[in-house]
Amino acid sequence: MTQSSALAIILAAGKGTRMKSALPKVLHRLAGAPMLAHVLRAVEAAGVVRGGVVVGPGMEDVGQAALSVDPKLDIFIQPDQLGTADAVKAASPGFEGASGPVLVLYGDTPLLRAETLKAVLGELDAGADLVVIGFEADDPTGYGRLLFDAHGRLAGIREEKDATAAERALTLCNSGIMAFRSAKMLSALLAQIGNDNAKGEFYLTDAVALARNADLQTRVVLSNAEEVLGVNSRAELATAEAVMQRRLRASIMANGATLVVPETVVFSYDTSVGRDVTIEPNVVIGPGVTIEDGVTIRAFCHIESAKIGPGATVGPFARLRPGAVLAKDAHVGNFVEIKNADVAEGAKVNHLTYIGDASIGAKANIGAGTITCNYDGFAKYRTEIGAGAFIGSNSSLVAPVKIGDGAYIASGSVITKDVPADALAVSRPPQEEREGWAAKVRAKRTRNKSK
Ligand code: UD1
Ligand code: CA
- Kindly indicate the confidence band of residue 422, based on its pLDDT and cuts at 50, 70 and 90: very high
Enter the DSSP assignment of 167. Answer: H
CA 219, CA 101: separation in Å to the nearest integer? 15
Which residue among 23, 55, 84, 157 has the greatest number of ligand 1 atoms within 8 angstroms of its CB, and so is best to mutate?
84
Which residues are known catalytic residues? 351
- Kindly indicate the confidence band of residue 262, based on its pLDDT and cuts at 50, 70 and 90: very high
pLDDT of 428 strictly over 70: yes
Tell me: the pLDDT tens digits for 340-350?
999 999 999 99
Q: What is the pLDDT of residue 391?
A: 98
CA 268, CA 31: separation in Å to the nearest integer? 4
- Kindly indicate the confidence band of residue 260, based on its pLDDT and cuts at 50, 70 and 90: very high
**Exposed, middle or buried by CB within 10 Å (0-12, 13-18, 19+), for 141?**
exposed
Which residue among 11, 175, 206 has the greatest number of ligand 1 atoms within 8 angstroms of its CB, and so is best to mutate?
11
Centroid of ligand 2 to alpha carbon of 143 (angstroms):
8
The answer, yes or no, to whether the previous bond of 110 is cis (omega within 30 of 0) is: no
Ligand 1, atom 22: closest residue by C-alpha:
13
Q: What is the pLDDT of residue 15?
A: 82
pLDDT of 267 strictly over 60: yes
- 82 CA closest ligand 1 atom index: 23
Tell me: the pLDDT tens digits for 189-211?
999 999 999 999 999 999 999 99
Average pLDDT over every residue of 35-58: 95
Q: What is the DSSP string of 140-156?
A: -TTSPEEEE-TTS-EEE
Q: What is the pLDDT of residue 1?
A: 44
Tell me: the pLDDT tens digits for 436-450?
999 999 999 999 887
